[in-house]
Amino acid sequence: MVSALNFGAIVFAMPQTGAILLNVFPLKMVRLACTRCPRKGQYRKATLIQEYGAAISLPTLRLLIAKCEHDGKLGTACGVYYVDLVPKK
């Protein structure tokens, strides 16, 4: 079963687990930034697919790329997010 998730003009197909997969990310560049530190960056989707595979979930990929010292810590969790998936105000 596949459901849809709508981020403004961007609509994703989601597998049953509910996680968006890298292969359906709609842009050629994947941009990340952090709410807790000044880190930010962008990666070519094709390069990420070569390195991590097309079926990797975006939540897992985010943590692998960030390699954050706060990952998994209570109260100081990693703040890395996908810039283009945050709804514009």
| pLDDT above 50: residue 75 | yes
CB 68 within 8 A of CB 80: yes
Mean pLDDT, range 24-28, rounded to an integer: 94
CB 58 within 8 A of CB 5: no
CB 54 within 8 A of CB 22: yes
pLDDT tens profile 30-74? 999 998 888 899 999 999 999 999 999 999 999 899 887 766 666
With 0-12 / 13-18 / 19 or more C-beta atoms within 10 angstroms meaning exposed / middle / buried, residue 19 is: middle
Mean pLDDT, range 19-23, rounded to an integer: 92
Mean pLDDT, range 3-13, rounded to an integer: 50
What residues have CB less than 8 Å from 13, skipping those under 6 apart? 2, 3, 4, 24
